[in-house]
Amino acid sequence: MSSALENEKILQFLPFSSVISSSFWHKLTQMKIDVYALNDEPVEITGYYTNQSTSSRLPACLNVDYSSFDNPQVSDIGSNGILCKGLLQNTNTLEAFKDINKQNAINKCGEQIWNDILSGAALSNPGLLTRFLLLTFADLKKYQFYYWFAFPTLVFPSKIILNEEPKELNKVLSNEEILQFQQAYDEFKASHGQSAFVVVKNPELGYKCHPLKEMVNLKDITWIGFCDPSSLPTNPGWPLRNLLALLAHHHKEHLVGLSVLCWRDGVRDGQRRVGSSLLIEIKDVIYPTESDSIPKCLGWEKNERGKLGARMVNLSNSMNPERLVESAVDLNLKLMKWRLLPELNLDLIQNTKCLLLGAGTLGCYVARTLMAWGVRHITFIDNGRVSYSNPVRQSLFGFDNCLNGGQPKAESAANSLRQIFPGMISRGIDLRIPMPGHYVTDTEEVEKDVQLLADAIDEHDVVFLLTDTRESRWLPSMLSAYRGKLAINAALGFDTYLVMRHGQREPWNPGQVQSEKSKGVMRGALAGRQLGCYFCNDVVAPGDSTKDRTLDQQCTVTRPGISLIASGLAVELMVSVLQHPQGGNASAEISTDAMTTVQQQQQQEMDNKEAINISPLGVVPHSIRGFLHRHQQVLPATEAFFNCTACSPLVIQRYAEKGYAFLAEVFNNADVLEQVSGLADLHKDIASIEDWDYPEESEGSTD
Amino acid sequence: MGTISWEEFVIGVRHILSVSGTIGDGWHFRGSLEEHCGGYLIKKMDYPVDVAEPTAASDGTRLKDDDDSTIDHDSAADATEPSDEQDPCSIDPDPSFRPVCREFHVLYSLAHAVPTLYLRAWRSDGSCVDAKELWNGLTAAEWRPSSDEFERLRSLTQQEHPFLGEPWYHLHPCRTADLMDLVASQNDVDDGIDAKRYFVRWMSTVAPLVGCPVSHHYASIG
């Protein structure tokens, strides 16, 4: 207002602020692909605004949404919506977007408005005065949208001078008068539905609203009214500017001294509020000095930094399918947390890195179940290739993966995970796990493999033992114990399965060797660190795979459903451990009722607050042994064996001291393990006991 | 049993529309009430959000000032750009608030036989407000219940909008029937469920949780 003389108030208008519904961008994307293709000619769209702002902090919003492309009716946008015409120009490149001559574009629109004023069309339909332009460039690869709105307004008259600040309606009229006018307006709205009108107050008949085109026949005009999108206490909205241009052309004589009603028709707390409508009295009007045939036009919207410029919005969060699937996966798991298990820590699961040794039947199902729990980091280790017999049992492979000699299984499974869910961070390592008793010919190669495996175990939090032989589990079992990782083991028989967690202790630390001998605990619970590993129950070293020892070890011939059951249990066991307040040290009941549901468990928990053996998901067993032929499952827990060939301090200490040299010995001769672990001595002891104690039975029952 | 048929849903919708028509709070219907599951109730609301709020600053999708991908008008250098001369007759909108729009849709869930509330909120550039911000920023503090039951009730799921095919949030309908059983049994155990009452009860229980006020006018059922 620097140019204003003293005592002179220039009327200032509040421009529209663009509001784009996210659905507008969805629809634009669809139209670009299906309809516009490379056509970048301007197309007509429809926007809307209202004169029922709920807050004076809100700008005067001009909205576009999904209905903008379909020629909407007032009924589509709510009863107080006012439709306005717009032109959308969607360019094919960012350069084209930048190169559009913005001044020409808005001038062209201004010319159209001016022609509607000259022809009188705008008198019959004042809606023609409020138009907008929208330039867009849609970068559909990055889901970035560049856009710039213009709300063209004619600078004619160039200035409106006021006597005094605009007044609020409820300070000028009584409540009764306001109600009377409200009725008159509602009648007008119902019959004409126009956004600008002439108000005449007859001393006897009260208020009446007339359409603008009748103005020429009316005497004693009280106000010119328009639906005002502004909610500011002193400033009218943008539509008044072109309305005044219309009046200045057709009814110049009325303009000085004219009263304008800025009609604001809102609802708050279920009540209609019109009192903040403004009355503006025009004292004087200044016209442009240049005598151009068409008045100057302006109205490009300023960006969020208050500068004339385009805006950009990145919608990859709501439009990029990869982001969408990620949030859908998360939300699905959150439902479980919200509805059933508020204590569930989903982040902990999501951040757990899982190493799967074996990408066969068990590996595939375990990976799928981990993925369903929201685990994002999965690495497979396998040295096989996908063969024709695999895909029907191994759920991450298809026929194509078997062709041309078959793809490497580890890598193929890792790729498959990312195809199922792009949010996965999966990797395959083609590696043969060195085994005790399998004579090493290429020492360098095997040493490298050991290092690779040790590094992989180091980088992950949980190690799943899912290979098809018993002896291939020895090295990872030993390394997991050495590094203090949680190891979950699943092994199958023909119709039996074993799923177990290895006792989890701190990473090996020579200063703190816990060489506890078995205490022979037979009742109560065992802490996680006291629990045994897969090899603890064995009294011979792994290495001899020619003889079947137990059903568990006949891995390749199994009832097909068994692997799903065992894989599911393996993952659920891991999740239960993770959710337990003590994690891997969660204690396991030596005997537990296996038939407990979550609900019963919660009830028990209520009954017994001291039930420390329970995670939010229930008990955390040491091992789960199932027998399908009787559909039976038991949950035995066993103590770590002091002479275990995999997890005993004696073996680990030897590895810690001698490293690969010790392993090389073991690979070449499994008997070394029995000597180191003390099993050999035990064998001798047992032999002497047998000789001494049971001389008569020695001939009888032998298996 | 806390559920309603589509026909009862329509009775409820008609009640909302007729009351909304008199008080002007903006509910309207898109689609067809005659066709089975043929449309949905809509209400749109704009809210000012303080730009200084941390939620606005932490929003990763917004442009940084030094992002060279923005196109600022470089003063008079380019003739194709609009003239930057001051317009003495316009006033800039208050930059300390930005509008956030919320749109509420009430759909009939055929699977659960209950009304379902869908909602979405976006900033003026069309970027969506995520569920967390939706709860934190937009639910009026007095409506923020702290008890577990409400936390669960308020669980928002992202779901493809059945009519629009876009991702929307919705209050999952699987607990609605239980909830309506509770609400209904307080007053009229033997009354049967009057469709209008059911609808108004449902709306006034659920909608305010997500910041959609429901006028007391709806409660006067003739």
Domains in chain B: boundaries:
6-57+94-219
Residue B138 has pLDDT above 60, yes or no: no
What's the pLDDT score for residue A264? 93
Q: Does pLDDT of A105 surpass 50?
A: yes
Residue A260 Cα distances to A81, A169, A227, A661, angstroms: 21, 11, 11, 97
Q: Using CA atoms, how far apart are residues A500 and A622, in angstroms rounded to an integer?
A: 6
Percentage of chain A beyond pLDDT 70 is 87
- Determine whether the interchain pair A78/B42 forms a contact, defined as Cβ–Cβ distance below 8 Å: yes
Chain A: nearest CA to B99, how far in angstroms? 6
ipTM: 0.80
Structure tokens at A111: 């010319």
Whole-number Å distance between alpha carbons of A491 and A551: 9
pLDDT value of position A701: 34
CA distance B213 to chain A (A): 8
Cis peptide before A157 (omega within 30 of 0): yes
Cα separation values, A375 from A330, A411, B18, B173, Å: 10, 18, 50, 28
Quick check: B103 pLDDT over 70? yes
Tell me which CATH code domain B6-57+94-219 carries. 3.30.1460.50
Query: B20: nearest CA in chain A?
Result: A270
Most confident of A84-93, A259-268, B159-168: A84-93
Does the pLDDT value for residue B214 go beyond 60?
Answer: yes
Q: Are A379 and A429 in contact (CB under 8 A)?
A: yes
Chain A residue closest to B66 (CA)? A305
Which residues of chain B neighbour A102 with C-beta distances below 8 Å?
A: 80-82
Closest CA to A158 of B136, B86, B113: B86
Residue ranges, comma separated, of all CATH 3.40.140.100 domains in chain A are: 159-294
Verify whether the Cβ–Cβ distance B158 to A269 is below 8 Å.
no
Give helix A239-250 / helix A102-119 axis angle, nearest 10°: 50
Report the C-alpha gap between A399 and A83 in whole angstroms.
57
Interface test with B, best of A143, A338, A602 (most B CBs within 10 A): A338
Which residue in chain A is spatially nearest to B73 when comparing CA positions?
A309
Local structure of residue A403 (DSSP, 8 states): S
Identify the residue among B98, B127, B157, B204 best suited for mutation to test binding to A, counting A beta carbons within 10 A and taking the highest.
Answer: B127
Residue B83: closest C-alpha in chain A: A103
**A491 close to A555: Cβ distance less than 8 angstroms:** yes
pLDDT (0 to 100) of residue A409:
96
- Looking at this protein, which amino acid is placed at residue B176? T
Phi, psi (degrees; rounded to nearest 5) at A140: -75, -10
For the domain covering A345-507+559-587, report its CATH number. 3.40.50.720
Find residue A196's DSSP bridge partners: A226
DSSP state of A36: I
Res. A520: pLDDT tops 70: no
Rounded CA separation A84/B175 (Å): 42
Q: Which residues of B touch A106 (CB under 8 A)?
A: 82
Q: What is the pLDDT of residues A347-386, one digit of tens each?
A: 999 999 999 999 999 999 999 999 999 999 999 999 999 9
Contacts of B23 in chain A (CB under 8 A): 267, 270-272
What average pLDDT does this structure show over A89-105?
A: 94
AA identity, residue B155: S
Q: In the predicted model, is pLDDT for residue B55 greater than 80?
A: no
Q: Which residues 70-89 of A have a C-beta within 8 angstroms of B?
A: 75-80
**Does A514 have pLDDT greater than 50?**
yes
SS3 A429: strand
Task: Point out the least confidently predicted range of A140-154, B101-115, B170-184, B188-202.
Answer: B188-202
Residue B113, pLDDT > 80, answer yes
pLDDT tens by residue, A456-492: 999 999 999 999 888 899 999 999 999 999 999 999 8
Q: Are B36 and B6 in contact (CB under 8 A)?
A: yes
Lowest mean pLDDT among A149-163, A571-585, B161-175, B183-197: B183-197
Whether A283 shows a pLDDT value over 70: the answer reads yes
User: Are the CB atoms for B131 and B154 separated by under 8 Å?
Assistant: no
- Would the pTM of this model clear 0.80, i.e. be above it? no
Chain A hits for B89, Cβ within 8 Å: 10-13, 155, 158-160, 241
The DSSP code sequence of chain B is: -----HHHHHHHHHHHHHHHHHHT---EEEE-SSSTT-EEEEEEEEEEEETTSHHHHT-TTSPPTT-TTS-B--GGG-TTSPP----TTB----TTEEEEEEEEEEEEETTTTEEEEEEEEEETTSPBPPHHHHHHHHS-GGG---SHHHHHHT-EEEEE-TTT-SEEEEE-GGGHHHHHHHHHHTT-SSS---HHHHHHHHHHHHGGGGT----GGGG---
pLDDT value for A9: 87
The CATH number fitting domain A159-294, selected from 2.60.40.1240, 3.30.365.10, 3.40.140.100, 3.30.160.100:
3.40.140.100
Selected residue with higher pLDDT from A1 and B85: B85
pLDDT at A301: 94
A20·B125 Cβ contact <8 A: yes
Q: Tell whether the model's pLDDT for residue A334 goes beyond 80.
A: no
Describe the crossing of helices B195-206 and B176-185 by its angle, rounded to 10 degrees: 110
Which chain B residue is nearest to residue A73, measuring alpha carbons?
Answer: B30
Whether A495 has a pLDDT exceeding 60, the answer reads: yes
**pLDDT of amino acid B75:** 37
Residue A2 has pLDDT above 90, yes or no: no
Is pLDDT at A394 greater than 90 in this prediction? Answer: yes
All residues of chain B having their beta carbon less than 8 Å from the beta carbon of residue A300 are 82
Of B44, B47, B155, the CB nearest to A78: B44
pLDDT of residue B47: 78
Confidence of residue A622 (pLDDT cuts 50, 70, 90): very high
Other beta carbons within 10 Å of A655: 20
Strands of A523-638, DSSP E: 525-526, 588-589, 614-615, 618-619, 623-627, 632-634
Q: Provide the pLDDT for residue B212.
A: 84
Detail the DSSP E strand segments found in A188-258: 196-202, 206-210, 223-227
Q: A126 and A194 in contact (C-beta within 8 Å)?
A: yes
| pLDDT for residue A523 | 62
| A80·B172 Cβ contact <8 A | no
Supply the pLDDT for residue B78.
45
What pLDDT does residue A261 have? 96
* A 524-553: CB under 8 A from B: none
Return mean pLDDT, chain A: 86
* Whole-number pLDDT of residue B182: 77
